[in-house]
Amino acid sequence: MASEDKNKLWEAYSKNQTAELKEKIIIEYAPLVKIVAGRLSMYLGYNVEYDDLVGYGIFGLIDAIDKFDYSKGIKFETYASLRIRGSILDQIRKMDWIPRSLRQKQKKIETAMTKLESEFGRPATDEEIAKELEISPDELTNWQGQANVSNIVSLDEFVESAGEKGIEPVKNQPFEQPEEAVEKAELKKLLAESLESLTEKEKKVILLYYYEELTLKEISKVLEVTESRVSQLHTKALQKMKVKLGGIAGYVFNNINY
């Protein structure tokens, strides 16, 4: 549906909130739920079914429609994305399957990576990291798979901190300010430098996910590997990039415009 037709639909719904118009809006924006669910599936990997994430997200879409104020001039897609993502993460938290030791494991991996890179002057291999942690390579792979779940916490914190305050009316953002352009250029430079620490496959996963916006399933087809392998590559890549970016890692990932 064209932008003009969407506006007409919202204008009609804002005046007369019938079940029929609401159903049309849900159908129109259902693909947005699939996009948000697909991106979150990268962090969750094979721990949660994609179709389940879509199901959780639909509740967020409906909530967004019920609470959206068309008269404020806010772009619905932006508003709804936050609601959809929040709904999915709320359901994940209710499932209560995140191990308490998860953060500790991720911290140990990151500490080992930093130490070994300092010693070798290059990124450490999985075998070297496993040896440093005194665990088997298979156990390290398991830890890295679980680390995907901890990213949910970071995403959840970002959603809550951004909230509706982070959504400005579209009419108030006609041009990008010069200082914002400079800051964005610096962030991209830092991101590009951190990409150099990755293997070719890890780099491809990051580029396909953040730049091309492909889902876990789509990336697995491009690289001809399993979805679980893509998830592992994504986790390893983020860990390496966090080592390079240091304390500003979260800021870079949350503020860069992919």
pLDDT in tens, 90-136: 887 776 555 556 667 878 888 888 888 888 888 788 889 899 999 99
What is the arithmetic mean of pLDDT over 237-252? 66
Helix axes 19-44, 227-245, angle to 10 degrees: 70
CA 85 to each of CA 3, 38, 68, 208: distance values in angstroms, whole numbers, following the listed order: 23, 11, 16, 20
At residue 26, the pLDDT reads 93
Q: Report how many domains make up the chain.
A: 1
pLDDT of residue 25: 93
For the segment 40-50, the average pLDDT, to the nearest whole number, is: 68
Averaged pLDDT of the chain:
75
pLDDT at 61 over 90: yes
In a domain, 159, yes or no: yes
pLDDT at residue 158, rounded to an integer: 41
pLDDT tens, 212-226?
778 778 888 899 888
- Check residue 209 and give its pLDDT: 80
Contacts of 245 (CB under 8 A, 6+ apart): 190, 191, 194, 252
Q: 221 in a domain, yes or no? A: no
CATH code of 52's domain: 1.10.1740.10
Cα–Cα separations (whole angstroms), residue 171 to 23, 64, 71, 96, 131: 27, 20, 12, 41, 56
Confidence check: pLDDT of 177 > 70 = no
Domain that residue 79 falls in: 1-99+147-174
Percent of the chain with pLDDT over 90: 15
Nearest C-alpha neighbor of 116 from the set 257, 254, 243: 243
Look at residue 167 and tell me if it is in a domain: yes
- Is the pLDDT at 138 greater than 60? The verdict is yes
Give domain status of residue 21, yes or no.
yes
Name which of 8-12, 101-105, 209-213 the model is least confident about.
Answer: 101-105
Q: Report which of 84, 7, 77 is spatially closest to residue 40, judged by C-alpha positions.
A: 84
- Assess if residue 206 is contained within a domain: no
Q: How confident is the model at residue 96, as a pLDDT?
A: 54
Say if residue 68's pLDDT is above 70: yes
Output the pLDDT for position 233.
Answer: 83
Fill in the amino acid letter for 71. S
Ranking 50-64, 161-175, 210-224 by mean pLDDT, the lowest is: 161-175
In a domain, 95, yes or no: yes
Query: What is the rounded average pLDDT of the residues 219-234?
Result: 83
Residue 6 lies in a domain: yes
Give domain status of residue 112, yes or no. Answer: no
Task: Indicate whether 150 pLDDT > 90.
Answer: no
Distances (CA, A) of 163 to 59, 156, 157, 166, 251: 17, 10, 10, 6, 16
Provide mean pLDDT across the span 12-28.
91
